Amino acid sequence: MANIVQFENVGLRYGSSPETLSDLSFALRAGAFYFVTGTSGAGKTSLLRLLYLAQRPSRGVIRLFGEDAVTLPRGRLPGFRRRIGVVFQDFRLLPHLTAYENIALPLRLAGHDEGELDEAVREMLAWVGLSNRADARPATLSGGEQQRIAIARAVINRPEMLVADEPTGNVDPEMADRLLHLFDSLNKLGTTVVVATHDLHLLGRVPDAQMMRIEKGRLIDPTGNLRHPPAEAGR
Ligand SMILES: Nc1ncnc2c1ncn2[C@@H]1O[C@H](COP(=O)(O)OP(=O)(O)OP(=O)(O)O)[C@@H](O)[C@H]1O
């Protein structure tokens, strides 16, 4: 498997504070499933923001899809971001749009015509089990339903990588299992999946997943079911 992401000695500092992330060197393999774990404040969200290009590092090299993501010209950022789906703990659906319109949004922004868009949106609604809620607005949906709409929106563009930041933090354990199942099935179709969580119960749900543990902004030696230490992968 080729590497989809490569970090070399990456550091991130907010303002003049000490580094939030330090000396991150690892590779993510295309098509693999990763959990990013660590206590609150360890730096999981910061790492994910680097991954989905919401944040530039203060130092080091990040290669994404085989290209240098740090020096990428601004004009190429939207094209890169379209190749990455993002799911947040708090869903971030647009409240004035229906479930259908939220899922359709990335395709509309990418200029797809309404005919081809409709089939894709209905397919995604069926995939997340919410065909009957197409016209509902987010406020009338449960947390688990909102998160499934958010996942459908994140993947309708068929991104090569899906990045999810505590996606099960606001749903009950049963729904968390169901969401994990969606991520797993997406991964089996070839999408690289990266899920940050401090819910250790989830880790056993994806037997093939690999773990990256962050402590105080550094990757520590992974344990558990990691098949290849990320720091050595692809070297
Ligand atoms: N935009 C920012 N400006 C300044 N400091 C920040 C910013 N974002 C995060 N930090 C700091 O960086 C550190 C790591 O935060 P981060 O959100 O990455 O951790 P986390 O592991 O995701 O935590 P949690 O599980 O609580 O979400 C924290 O000390 C936080 O206060």
Taking the centre of ligand 1 as the mean of its atom positions, its distance from the CA of residue 194, in whole angstroms, is 18
Nearest CA to ligand 1 atom 28: 41
Domain ranges of the chain: 32-56+80-220
Q: Is the predicted ipTM greater than 0.90, yes or no? A: yes
Atom of ligand 1 nearest to the CA of 38: 21
Taking the centre of ligand 1 as the mean of its atom positions, its distance from the CA of residue 206, in whole angstroms, is 26
Q: For domain 32-56+80-220, is the CATH number 3.40.50.300?
A: yes
Give the pLDDT score at 204: 86
User: What's the predicted TM-score (pTM) here?
Assistant: 0.92
- Around 94, how many Cα atoms within 13 Å sit in the side-chain half-sphere? 11
Taking the centre of ligand 1 as the mean of its atom positions, its distance from the CA of residue 210, in whole angstroms, is 23
Strand blocks (E) in 53-209 = 59-64, 67-68, 84-88, 161-165, 192-196
159-204 pLDDT tens trace: 999 999 999 998 899 999 999 999 999 999 999 999 999 888 888 8
Distance CA(29)–CA(164), nearest Å, equals: 17
47-63 pLDDT tens trace: 999 999 999 999 999 99
- CB within 6 Å of ligand 1 — which residues? 14, 20, 38, 40-46, 198
